[in-house]
Amino acid sequence: MRGWLYLLGAAIAGAVVTTPALLVFVLGGGSVDDALFVALGTLMLVSALLVVTMRDIIQCGLAMIVAFLALAGIYVVVGAPLVAAAQVIVYIGAISVLILFAIMLTQSKAGPARLVFQTQAAPAAVAAVILAVLITLGVSATDWGETAERARLATDTLALILFQDYVLPFEVVSVLLLAAVIGGVFIAKREEDPG
């Protein structure tokens, strides 16, 4: 029985996502890339909204994973496949898992809390909307000096630059990760009883 609901949900989601894409593709006369962009963008935004509004926190985590996936797709569309791969591996493979583990460790037996949002949710929403509007206005008003087409970077070129020009940040980041891991382990360790 439950399975049908999930399938139905997935179908609705798929419809939601593909409709605007198809619209763009067919009516707007755009290319496949544009349709893909619209589809993936819509998916990402919808799942992000679900992340911040759903009651059950595990479902929020799952929505977040979907958002990351969509973002990885967009990275591919933009022309940065390495970043897309890293996104999937790091965010979905590591951070999301980490978050789900943390959710598991901090679940209270009473279930999800009564109130999802804080008392300041309304002003927060207003602030968020204004922020979005400001960014949009700022972005569209600025001349970035961009090229007309997106450039696709070859992975081997990227690798060369990474390990030649940017080797120091690379190494420092690894040290940072080490420190973070050690720190995290130490902080989250259970207090041991003496003796």
Partner 1 sequence: MNMDTLIPLIAALPMGGFLFTAVVGRRLGKRAHIVPVLAVGLSWVIAMVVVYTALTGGFGEGGQTVKLWDWIPAGAFQVEAAFFVDNLTAALLIVVTTVGLLVHIYSIGYMSHDPGYWRFFAYLNLFMFSMLLLVLGDSWLTVFVAWELVGLCSYLLIGFWYRKNSAALASKKAFIVNRVGDVGFALGIMAIWVNTGTLNIRESIDVLTSHTLVAFPIPVGLIALLIFAGAMGKSAQFPLHVWLPDAMEGPTPVSALIHAATMVNAGVYLVARANPIFASAPEAMVVVAGIGIFTALLAASIALTQTDIKRVLAYSTLSQLGYMFAALGVGAWTAAIFHLMAQGFTKGLLFLASGSVIHAVHDEQDMRKMGGLAKKIPHTYRTMLIGSIGMAGIPPLAGFFSKDEILGETFKAGFYWVWAIGVIVAIMTAFYMFRLIGLTFWGESRVDKAVEPKIHESPRVMTLPLWLLAIPSLLLGLFLAWPGPPLGPLFGQHGPGLLAGWLEPVYAHGLEILGHHEAEFAIFGIDGVLILISIAVATAGVLAAWRLFGVEIGGLRRRGQPERVQALSARVPFLYRASLNKWWFDELNHLVFIVIGGRVAAFLWWFDANVVDGIVNGIGAVTRLSGGGLARIQTGHVQNYALGIAIGLIVMVASYALMVSS
Partner 2 sequence: MGLANSLDAYLILAGVLFAIGTFGFLARRNAISMLMSIELMLNAVNLAIVAFGSFIPNLKADGSIIALMVMAVAAAEATVGLAIIIAIYRNRKTPLVDEYDAMRR
What is the spatial distance between Cα 101 and Cα 61, in angstroms, rounded to a whole number?
10
Q: Is 145 helix (H, G, I), strand (E, B) or coil?
A: coil
Q: What residues numbered 132-171 form the site for partner 1, per CB under 8 A? A: 134, 137-138
Q: Which stretch binds partner 2 (CB under 8 A): 2-10, 11-19, 181-189?
A: 181-189
Mark residues 108-147: x for contact with partner 2 by CB under 8 A, - for none. Answer: x----x-xxxx-xx--xx-xxx-xx--xx--xx---xxxx
Determine if 39 is a binding residue for partner 2 (CB under 8 A): no
What is the spatial distance between Cα 74 and Cα 84, in angstroms, rounded to a whole number?
8
Determine if 77 is a binding residue for partner 2 (CB under 8 A): yes
Mark residues 90-119: x for contact with partner 1 by CB under 8 A, - for none. Answer: ----------------------------x-
What is the spatial distance between Cα 176 and Cα 171, in angstroms, rounded to a whole number?
9
Please say which residue, 17 or 38, places its beta carbon nearer to partner 2: 38
| Short-list 64, 34, 61, CA closest to 46 | 64
164 binds, among partner 2, partner 1, none (CB under 5 to 8 A by kind): none
Please say which residue, 136 or 174, places its beta carbon nearer to partner 1: 136
DSSP string, 55-69: SSHHHHHHHHHHHHH
Please say which residue, 94 or 125, places its beta carbon nearer to partner 1: 125
Among 45, 127, 161, 179, which residue interacts with partner 1 (rule: CB under 8 A)?
Answer: 127
14 binds, among partner 2, partner 1, none (CB under 5 to 8 A by kind): none
What is the spatial distance between Cα 119 and Cα 95, in angstroms, rounded to a whole number?
29
Rounded alpha-carbon distances, angstroms, from residue 61 to 19, 46, 85, 96: 26, 14, 20, 7
What is the spatial distance between Cα 177 and Cα 6, in angstroms, rounded to a whole number?
38
Q: Interface residues with partner 1 (CB under 8 A)?
A: 118, 120, 123-124, 127, 130-131, 134, 137-138
